[in-house]
């Protein structure tokens, strides 16, 4: 079932993402992170939780890889990546998908 948030449309079964009608190319991990957040709208995930869920392994080192993927997703789906509306940072905690955006669920 498609997920619709403002100008962002996610087709989970096709692994496709559209922003304002244009297809956005995401890597596999970027897509998995976006889906994790979009399917749990408003829920905050720590970098550690995102890594453990998406990579399906426990990692006790540096989580910069998660921050790097979030940055890349924002560059691709946000109109202004420095002021994101879809993926929000909860300082000192982690990331969440904006709970104020309606979904087509």
Spatial CB neighbours of 85, under 8 Å, sequence gap ≥ 6: 6, 78, 79, 98, 101
Q: Region 19-30: what's the mean pLDDT?
A: 96
Q: How far is it, in rounded angstroms, from Cα 33 to Cα 27?
A: 10
**Phi and psi (nearest 5°) for 3?**
-110, 130
Contact by Cβ (8 Å): 93, 44: yes
Q: At the topology level of CATH, where does 27-97 sit?
A: Arc Repressor Mutant, subunit A (1.10.10)
Helix axes 28-39, 47-54, angle to 10 degrees: 120
Domain definitions of the chain by residue range: 27-97
Exposed / middle / buried, residue 82 (Cβ in 10 Å: 0-12, 13-18, 19+): exposed
How high is the mean pLDDT of the chain? 92
pTM given for the model = 0.92
Span 38-80, pLDDT tens digits: 999 999 999 999 999 999 887 777 778 999 999 999 999 999 9
């Amino acid at each position: 079932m498609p997920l619709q948030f403002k100008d962002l449309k996610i087709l989970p079964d096709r692994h496709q993402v559209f922003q304002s009608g244009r297809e956005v190319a995401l890597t596999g991990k970027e897509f998995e992170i976006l889906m994790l957040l979009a399917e749990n709208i408003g829920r905050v995930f720590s970098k550690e939780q995102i890594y453990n869920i998406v990579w399906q392994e426990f990692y006790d080192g540096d989580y910069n890889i998660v921050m790097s993927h979030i940055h890349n997703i924002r560059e691709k789906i946000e109109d202004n990546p420095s002021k994101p509306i879809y993926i929000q940072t909860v300082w000192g905690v982690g990331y969440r998908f904006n709970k104020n955006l309606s979904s087509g669920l």
